[in-house]
Amino acid sequence: MSWNPEAAEVSNPHREVILTGDRPTGPLHLGHFAGSLRTRLALQYVHDQTVLIADLQALTDNAGRPVDVRRQVMELALDYLAVGIDPTASTIAVQSGIPELAELTMLYLNLVTVARLERNPTIREEIELRGFGRAIPAGFLAYPVSQAADITAVQATLVPVGSDQLPMIEQTNEIVRRLAHLAGHPVLPECRPLLSDTPRLPGVDGRKASKSLGNAIALTATPDEIRAKVGAMFTDPGHLRASDPGRVEGNVVFSYLDAFDPSGEEVEELKARYRAGGLGDVQLKRRLEQILESLVAPIRARRSELAHDPAAVEMLMRTGTTRTRETAAGVLRDVRAVFGLGWST
């Protein structure tokens, strides 16, 4: 494995501590790339970035499939490294390797009411989506508090997220303020979201991209898979002949071109031609297919190279986890002190 150690040396007077993460529940797809991975690649050489593999959070709604979650930790690490998360610049850490997070969560739970947890709009939506009814795992309802532990454990000031994660940031800052109130002085920094400006990339059918619908394009897609997925993309049902005028809004091919075509100018020209009539779906899709293949090919190659040496990847995760654990231990000491707890050795 080769990285670019010089790049990590860039000094920045506005250096911030960044925490981002994902649940290890399945392969990352192009939506993740457009929405969050690309941002992380840019931020890692400018700020102090930790990328957390949130396996404890994954268990909050997958406790019945622990072996799966365990396996996905490695898969997620491979995805990260393959897209260019550079372990000499970013810290890759595994949540369950940091028991301090569990204790921080336990303490923070005393600062949050059940009513507050139930008001979290993202949690409400996810409960609905998963059909929990009243059988909500308590750990699931409380995962925003565990996420507050993640964020504060590294004293993150900046959290790059999609808009669905804004309630988690709000929850974190509420805990930070309650803690300061209890202590009579600030204990931990508040954090700000860094919202991605790319709109959420739809699935090939135009619905929300999701694993269970099979409508996303994985970062590891083969050329055949890319061809099949692009071929199946929803365009404009009214655009029957190339010469017909077509709709660009809601047209999935254009959503992907907007996200990935290196030439914004050419995309605008294509949109104009499509609207006017005279540009066929087949031609448009061929362009997108080539763009996606040249994006995915190096990721695929790098991933298969990395997958040959799982021990090296494990080692990177262990190093990052240990480093994060040391930071978290300092924070836990401060938070314990606020609660008058001094029993640990």
- Using CB under 6 A as the criterion, which residues of the chain lie in contact with ligand TRP when the complex forms? 19-23, 52, 54, 57, 147, 150-151, 159, 161, 165
How far apart CA 112 and CA 114 sit, in angstroms, is 7
**3-state secondary structure (DSSP) of residue 18:** strand
What's the min distance (Å) between Cβ of 223 and ligand TRP? 29
| Vertex 312 angle, CA 67 and 49, to 5° | 85
What's the min distance (Å) between Cβ of 56 and ligand TRP? 9
26 or 280: whose CB is closer to ligand TRP? 26
Let me know if 110 is exposed, middle or buried by CB neighbors in 10 A (0-12, 13-18, 19+): exposed
What's the min distance (Å) between Cβ of 54 and ligand TRP? 4
What's the min distance (Å) between Cβ of 58 and ligand TRP? 9
202 or 246: whose CB is closer to ligand TRP? 202
Strand partners, 16: none
What's the min distance (Å) between Cβ of 153 and ligand TRP? 10
20 or 90: whose CB is closer to ligand TRP? 20
At what angle are helices 143-153 and 310-338 packed, to 10 degrees?
90
Element (H, E) at 53: strand 48-53
78 or 101: whose CB is closer to ligand TRP? 101
**3-state secondary structure (DSSP) of residue 49:** strand
**3-state secondary structure (DSSP) of residue 213:** coil
How far apart CA 329 and CA 341 sit, in angstroms, is 14
What's the min distance (Å) between Cβ of 139 and ligand TRP? 13
Element (H, E) at 123: helix 121-130
44 or 147: whose CB is closer to ligand TRP? 147
91 or 251: whose CB is closer to ligand TRP? 91
